[in-house]
Structure 1
Amino acid sequence: MDPLITAAARALATGDPLAALNRVALRDDPPALALRGIAMAQLGDLARATTLLRRAARAFGPGQPVARARCVVAEAEIAFVSRDLAWPEAALEAARATLEAQGDRANVAHARTLQARRQLLVGRIDEAERILEGLDPASLPAATRAACELVVAGIAIRRTRTKAARAALARAGIAARAARIPALVAEVETAARVLDTPAARLVAGDEERPLLLEDVERLLASDALIVDACRHAVRVGGTTLSLATRPVLFALARVLGEAWPADAPRGTLLQSAFGARHVDESHRARLRVEIGRLRAALGDLADLGATKAGFVLLPRQGRHIVVLAPPVEDRHAGMLALLADGEAWSSSALAIALGASPRTIQRALDRLARAGKVQSFGRARSRRWTVPHVPGFPTVLLLPDPLASG
Structure 2
Amino acid sequence: MDSLITAAARALAAGDPLGALNRVALRDDAPALALRGIAMAQLGDFVRAKALVRSAARAFGPKEAVARARCVVAEAEIALVSRDLGWPAKALDAARATLEAHGDRVNAAHARYLQVRRLLLIGHLDEAERLLAELDPTPFPPALRAAHELVVAGVALRRIRTGTARVALARAELAARHAGIPALTAEVESTFLALSTPAARLFARGEERPLMLEEVEALFASRALVVDACRHIVRDAGTAVSLATRPVLFALARALGEAWPADVSRDTLVAQAFRGKLADESHRARLRVEVGRLRKVLRTLAGVSATKRGFALVPHRAHEVVVLMRPVEEKHAAVLALLADGESWSSSALALALGASQRTVQRALDSLATAGKVRSFGRARALRWMTPPVPGFATILLLSASLPSD
Q: After TM superposition, is the score higher than 0.5?
A: yes
Structure 1: which amino acid aligns with 2:26? L
Query: How far does residue 62 in structure 1 lie from its aligned partner after superposition?
Result: 1.2
Higher mean alpha-carbon deviation, 261-270 vs 274-283, is at 274-283
- Taking a change above 3 Å as real, the CA distance of residues 369 and 300 of structure 1, as seen in their structure-2 partners, is closer
CA distance in 2, matches of 1:26, 1:317: 71
Query: How far does residue 318 in structure 1 lie from its aligned partner after superposition?
Result: 6.2
Equivalent in the alignment of 2:156:
156
Deviation sequence 1:260-281 (CA, Å, 0-9, x none): 1111111111111122522111
CA distance in 2, matches of 1:388, 1:292: 43
Equivalent in the alignment of 2:37:
37
Residue 329 in structure 1 maps to residue 336 in structure 2: no
Cα pair 2:223 2:318 within 8 Å, conserved: no
- Taking a change above 3 Å as real, the CA distance of residues 390 and 296 of structure 1, as seen in their structure-2 partners, is closer
- Secondary structure of 2:192's counterpart equals helix
Query: How far does residue 244 in structure 1 lie from its aligned partner after superposition?
Result: 2.1
Query: How far does residue 389 in structure 1 lie from its aligned partner after superposition?
Result: 5.9
Higher mean alpha-carbon deviation, 72-81 vs 33-42, is at 33-42
Cα pair 2:347 2:358 within 8 Å, conserved: yes
Structure 1: which amino acid aligns with 2:379? R
CA distance in 2, matches of 1:338, 1:253: 26
Deviation sequence 1:183-215 (CA, Å, 0-9, x none): 111111111111112111111011111111100
- Taking a change above 3 Å as real, the CA distance of residues 389 and 198 of structure 1, as seen in their structure-2 partners, is closer
- Please report the TM-score for the alignment, with normalisation by the length of structure 2: 0.93
Cα pair 1:304 1:314 within 8 Å, conserved: yes
**What is the root-mean-square deviation in Å for CA atoms of aligned residues?**
1.4
- Taking a change above 3 Å as real, the CA distance of residues 389 and 297 of structure 1, as seen in their structure-2 partners, is closer
Structure 1: which amino acid aligns with 2:275? G
Structure 2: which amino acid aligns with 1:295? R
Structure 1: which amino acid aligns with 2:186? A
Structure 2: which amino acid aligns with 1:58? R
- Secondary structure of 2:254's counterpart equals helix
Residue 167 in structure 1 maps to residue 188 in structure 2: no
Equivalent in the alignment of 1:5:
5
CA distance in 2, matches of 1:73, 1:220: 39
Cα pair 2:341 2:389 within 8 Å, conserved: no
CA distance in 1, matches of 2:390, 2:301: 41
Cα pair 1:342 1:390 within 8 Å, conserved: no
CA distance in 2, matches of 1:21, 1:286: 67
* Aligned length in residues: 391
- Secondary structure of 1:245's counterpart equals coil
- Secondary structure of 1:139's counterpart equals coil
Cα pair 1:57 1:68 within 8 Å, conserved: yes
Equivalent in the alignment of 1:399:
none
Equivalent in the alignment of 1:245:
245
Cα pair 2:70 2:107 within 8 Å, conserved: yes
- Taking a change above 3 Å as real, the CA distance of residues 19 and 258 of structure 1, as seen in their structure-2 partners, is same
- Runs of 4+ in structure 1 over 6 Å off: none
Deviation sequence 1:43-70 (CA, Å, 0-9, x none): 1111111111111111112110000100
Equivalent in the alignment of 1:184:
184
- Secondary structure of 2:198's counterpart equals coil
Structure 2: which amino acid aligns with 1:20? A
Structure 1: which amino acid aligns with 2:169? L
CA distance in 2, matches of 1:187, 1:86: 24
CA distance in 2, matches of 1:364, 1:292: 32
Residue 84 in structure 1 maps to residue 93 in structure 2: no
CA distance in 1, matches of 2:162, 2:310: 39
Cα pair 2:226 2:321 within 8 Å, conserved: yes
Name the % identity: 71
Equivalent in the alignment of 1:370:
370
Cα pair 2:233 2:240 within 8 Å, conserved: yes
- Secondary structure of 2:201's counterpart equals strand
Higher mean alpha-carbon deviation, 310-319 vs 331-340, is at 310-319
CA distance in 2, matches of 1:344, 1:3: 36
CA distance in 2, matches of 1:121, 1:388: 18
Equivalent in the alignment of 1:127:
127
| Residue pairs, 1:286-305, within 5 angstroms | 286-305=286-305
Higher mean alpha-carbon deviation, 358-367 vs 163-172, is at 358-367
- Secondary structure of 2:138's counterpart equals helix
Structure 1: which amino acid aligns with 2:233? A
CA distance in 2, matches of 1:295, 1:344: 43
- Secondary structure of 2:134's counterpart equals coil
Deviation sequence 1:96-119 (CA, Å, 0-9, x none): 111111111001110000000000
- Taking a change above 3 Å as real, the CA distance of residues 58 and 362 of structure 1, as seen in their structure-2 partners, is same
Query: How far does residue 91 in structure 1 lie from its aligned partner after superposition?
Result: 1.3
Query: How far does residue 317 in structure 1 lie from its aligned partner after superposition?
Result: 4.5
Equivalent in the alignment of 1:234:
234
CA distance in 1, matches of 2:383, 2:302: 49
| Residue pairs, 1:356-395, within 5 angstroms | 356-388=356-388
- Please report the TM-score for the alignment, with normalisation by the length of structure 1: 0.93
Structure 2: which amino acid aligns with 1:23? R
Structure 2: which amino acid aligns with 1:184? L
Residue 20 in structure 1 maps to residue 20 in structure 2: yes
Query: How far does residue 293 in structure 1 lie from its aligned partner after superposition?
Result: 2.1
Gaps of at least 5 residues in structure 2 are 392-406
Gaps of at least 5 residues in structure 1 are 392-406
Query: How far does residue 138 in structure 1 lie from its aligned partner after superposition?
Result: 2.1
